[in-house]
């Protein structure tokens, strides 16, 4: 039913971020499943000892893409045009 909430061009906002954020004994947690029709399915937990867990489900290689981006790696490269 997420199609009902989905709007092309709509972006994840600061308000969305804060709505998904919690703080408790486990530490600072961001939990996203569906946000306004977008399947995000990602959890990030930052524990008091500084360790971080990034979990994704139903998203294929999403976690690897996140890690590559955080490490500054480029996943998309320009293809030279030949004429």
- Tokens 């490269």 correspond to what residue? 77
Answer whether residue 49 is part of any domain: yes
Q: Which is nearest to 55 in space by CA: 47, 64, 13, 69?
A: 64
Q: Could you say which DSSP state residue 78 is in?
A: P
Contact 56, 41 (CB under 8 A): yes
**Residue 40 counted as domain residue:** yes
Domain ranges, residue 37: 2-70
Q: Is 77 contained in some domain? A: no
Give 30-39 pLDDT, tens digit per residue. 999 888 777 8
Reported as a single tens digit per residue, the pLDDT across 24-65 is 999 999 999 888 777 888 899 999 999 999 888 886 776 677
Residue 1 has pLDDT above 70, yes or no: no
Residues in the chain: 83
* Predicted model pTM: 0.62
DSSP lists the bridge partners of residue 23 as: 28
- Helical (H) or strand (E) element with 27: strand 27-35
Domain membership of residue 63 (yes or no) is: yes
Structural domain count of the chain: 1
Residue 83 lies in a domain: no
């Amino acid at each position: 039913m997420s199609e009902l909430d989905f709007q092309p061009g709509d972006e994840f906002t600061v308000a969305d971020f804060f709505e998904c954020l919690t703080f408790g004994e486990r530490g600072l947690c961001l939990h996203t499943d569906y946000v306004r029709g977008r399947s995000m399915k990602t959890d990030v937990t930052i524990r008091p000892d500084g360790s971080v867990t990034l979990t994704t489900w139903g998203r294929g290689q999403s976690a690897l893409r996140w890690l590559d981006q955080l490490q500054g790696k480029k996943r998309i490269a320009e293809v030279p045009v030949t004429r």
